[in-house]
Structures are given as structure tokens and as C-alpha cells.
Amino acid sequence: MGKIMSRLGKRFFFLQKRELRIVMVGLDSSGKTTILYKLKLGQNVQTVPTIGFNVERVEYKNVNFTVWDVGGQSQIRALWKHYFHNTHGVVFVVDSNDRQRISEARSELHNILSYCEVVGNCVLLVIANKQDVDGAMSIDEIAHKLALHSLPHRRWYIQSASAISGQGLYQGLDWLLTLKSFKSSIKPSSIPPWSCLASWNFSADPCSLPRRTAFICGVACSGDSTRVTQITLDPAGYSGSLTPLISHLTLLTTLDVADNSFSGQIPPSLSSLPHLQSLTLRSNSFSGPIPPSIINLKSLQSLDLSHNSLSGSLPNSMDSLSSLTRIDLSFNRLTGSLPKLLPPNLIELAMKGNSLSGFLYRSTFEKMKQLEVVELSENALAGKIEAWFFSMPALQQVDLANNSFAGVEIGKPVGGESNLVAVNLGFNKIRGLAPANFGAYPVLSFLSLRYNQLRGAIPLDYGQSKSMKRLFLDGNFLVGKPPAGFFGGASVSGSLGDNCLQSCPRSSELCATAQKPSSVCKQAYRGKPRS
């Protein structure tokens, strides 16, 4: 029986006081009194039609709800208006099986809302009772027949319920505490007087109009001004934890607490937010594992957990995150291998600065037709980077530097076309010859193979590339003369130093750093290096 009281709380979470006055009305025989005593006693009580009113106090998590159950007979309805003074909200109970009187219920509902408007901007909860009866109207049908969507500036919610079984009763009072709990989980000493959180005044509804006097920033609401949809905090240095109760903001689309000092674990309850599109916890001190249930966020488009202290391994498969286009888990303490399947619609993949290990498997990436950016540097990835990797159709930027890759293969671009702009493979353990085919990529302007174990001559194709602007081949064992194309009219910057090159003109920026001592080169080649 949790959801009804939860919805009451969800609608009234903005009230600072611990006493809430609720008026429950509806047509006769809709089940108001049965609901009241189910909430009060937790059991079914035989009732008779209410003549006048019943009043009971229902306590939930230190909040007292004083509920006035007002009779629904036609001759009593004219008296309803006298109960709305100092009321925080109205509960309107509808018999979901009473199709004959739904128009009458609509008329009475709109009458009481006009009364409520005079005495205060109280919120509305519609309880669609008797949902367990065969043939009951759905809540969508009831919302339509009651014309709830014609109330653009009224905070309302409709909840399915069964007073007899208890289904839909009692669960949602946590809504009463959601934003208050969010703020109370943050250390008061970390809330500057000029910050967004300092403006949060719970004597007002953050979604009421106008709302800027009580919640100057940090909160955004739905278009009908009924539900919180975004929490975006300023980087004010807030510290504390992230409350699990935030999962009760079920219409939340954006949660952004970046560049603060939050700590503790990421609440697994975040994974139950069905509409969450953007989750940004960047640059805090969150620790512990990434909740495995995060793969349930089907609406998630952007995930940024970078620059924290998260540990443990990634979920084995993340392809269920079909809406995700950007993921950044960089600079944490993550271990283990990459997921077997990554989100298929990713555009940007960033996991640099962790301790990820293992190989790059084709099966992990093969469904990713939109992937443009891969940033996996500063990990412990190994093996060979195979040709299929660079042939991903949308790929533009690759950063695999500072790993333990031992080899690289790259074919020529299919049809001579490729979007590849930048490749950084520096500081690995790549052996063999410098891959000549990089020079065939028509828009490649940045290439770094620095500080590997490359041998042989610099490919002539590098010097003939019309797009190459920055080239770093320093720190290898390359021999011979650099291609003349580096020193003509084209302006190529970077470094060819710390190799075994001959005739590298020191007047060029590319050759500003000295070459290796000849003794080192001879030892590497077991004799005189060949040009």
C-alpha cells in the first residue's frame, strides 16, 4: 500500500513543516474511508457512507498527515469548500469502475480546484481506486476523462490503487523527503551563502510559478510545472554523499553535480530512474564500484563519471545502453578488461587514466558504426592493434598512448576515404617498422608513435602526406634520412629526435632534439645501423 502515501509525499516534499493537512474527497462509494483506515491501521475496516467527515492522523517517517475524509453524497458536496483553508493538498478518489459517473466526478473535481485556488495553491493527487476490478478504467483513461491535462499550472498526479488489497498505498511518502534529503546529505559547512543550494527554500514548491524566489538555481521542472526534471548544481565545493532517495524523482532527466567534493558510493537506486538522459558526476571523490545496474538506464545518452576514485571492473556487457552516445570514465581506478559489448550507438568513448587490461577485440567494437572518438590512454591494454580498428567508418580521433601494445596493423583507407584526423600511439611497446599506410589517410593531421621500439626508415608516405601537420616519431630506433617532404614548403611540426637518423637538419623543429648516441644505435642493431 505504499504508492499512495508516497505520491502524497512526492507532491508535498517542498514543505519544511512536519505537519501536513490533507483533504480527501470524491463521490460517494469511491472508497475514501476504506483508504483512510487502510493507511491508518494497515487493515481493512468495514465502513458505512460518511455523513460529514472522518479525521485521522497518519504518521510516516516523522511526518504527520492529518487526513480529512469528507463525505461524498451530493447534498454534502457543497460543504467541501469549507475544508480547504490551510490545506496543503487535495486527494480526489475515483472509482475506476464507475464509468457512469466519471463525468460527474470531473465536474466536482474542477469545482473543488476553484475553491482551492482561492485559499491557496494546494496540489492534487488523484487516486484511481478499485484497479483490481475487472474492466476498470486505466489511469490514462481516467486522466483524460477528468481533463487533468487541462491543468497546465496545477501540480497533479494520478495513482492507481486498490484499497482492499493495499496495492498502491503507502510507498511514496519518501517523495516528501527527496530534495530535502538531497540537501541534508550535503555538509552544511560546504554550502557557501552565494551558492545554488543556499537558495533552496523548502517553504515553497520548487516547481511553483514563479519559482525563482525560492529555488534560484539548480532545479528545473517539467513544462506543466508539476515535477522536478533536472538537478544541476554549481561547482561550489559541496561535500557529502548522494542520497539514494533521489531515485524518487522519477521524471528526472538530468543529474549534474560535477566539480564538487561529493564522496561515498554512487547509489544503485539511480538505475531506477527511467527517464534519466544525462548523468554527470565528474570531478568529485566518489569511490567504490560503478553499480552494475547502471546498464538498466535505457534512456541514458551521456554518462560522465570521470575524475573520481571509482574502482572495480566494468559490467561484462553494456550494449543494453542503446541510447548512450557519450561515456567518460577517465581517471578513476577501474580494473579488468573492456566490456565484451559496448553501447552500440556510442560517439565518444573515454576511459583513459585507469588500470584496464586485456586486448582490443573486434566483437567489442563491431556494432559501433557512429564511434568518432576513442580515448583509452594510460591503461594497461596489450596485444596488437589490428587493421579493423582503424577502419571503423566514423572514427576520427584515437588515443591509445601509454599502454603496453606490442604491434599495430593498418590498411589503406577503403576507397581512399577516411575521417581519421588524429592518432596517438605513443609510449607503448610497438615493435617493427613504422606503419606506412598512415600516410594514405587523406585528413590525418596528427600522428604520434613516439617512444616505442620502431626500427627501419621513416615511410616516404609520411613526407608526401598533404594533411599531416604534427608528427611525433621521437624516442624510437628509426634510421636513414627523413623524407624531404618534411622540410619543403609544407609546415610539419613535432619531433624526430632521439632516434638513429642521419642527416636530420638541426635547423628544423623536427630535428631540434638530438639523436641517440651511435653506441646505443649500434647495440640496438647489433652493429652499424643501416639506412
- Strand, coil or helix: what is 172? helix
> What are the grid coordinates assigned to 189, written together?
559547512
Q: Residues 128, 130, 133, 136: what is their CA dihedral angle, to the nearest 10 degrees?
A: -20
**DSSP type of residue 48:** -
Q: In the annotation, is 73 catalytic?
A: yes
> Which of 16, 46, 73, 397 is flagged as catalytic?
73
Q: Residues 206, 207, 209, 213: what is their CA dihedral angle, to the nearest 10 degrees?
A: 20
499 with 518: CB under 8 angstroms? no
- Give the separation between CA 390 and CA 410, rounded to whole angstroms: 7
Q: What is the helix (H) or strand (E) element at residue 500, kind and residue range?
A: strand 500-501
In the chain, the amino acid numbered 179 is L
**CB 62: neighbour CB atoms within 10 A?**
8
Binding residues: 26-33, 50, 72, 129-132
- Give the separation between CA 151 and CA 145, rounded to whole angstroms: 13
Question: What does the radius of gyration of the chain's CA atoms come to, in whole angstroms?
Answer: 32
124 with 149: CB under 8 angstroms? no
HSE toward the beta carbon, residue 521, CA cutoff 13 A: 21
Binding residues for Mg(2+): 33, 50
**Start-to-end C-alpha separation, the chain:** 83
- Give the separation between CA 60 and CA 9, rounded to whole angstroms: 10
- Strand, coil or helix: what is 108? helix
- The residue ranges of DSSP E strands in 343-445, in sequence order, are 348-350, 355-358, 373-375, 380-385, 397-399, 404-408, 422-424, 431-433
351 with 374: CB under 8 angstroms? no
- Give the separation between CA 406 and CA 389, rounded to whole angstroms: 15
Chain centroid to Cα 288, Å, comes to: 18
- Give the separation between CA 324 and CA 287, rounded to whole angstroms: 23
487 with 496: CB under 8 angstroms? no
521 with 500: CB under 8 angstroms? yes
Binding residues for GTP: 26-33, 72, 129-132
- Give the separation between CA 362 and CA 353, rounded to whole angstroms: 22
Nearest to 72 by CA among 57, 56, 54, 50: 50
Which residues are catalytic, by number? 73
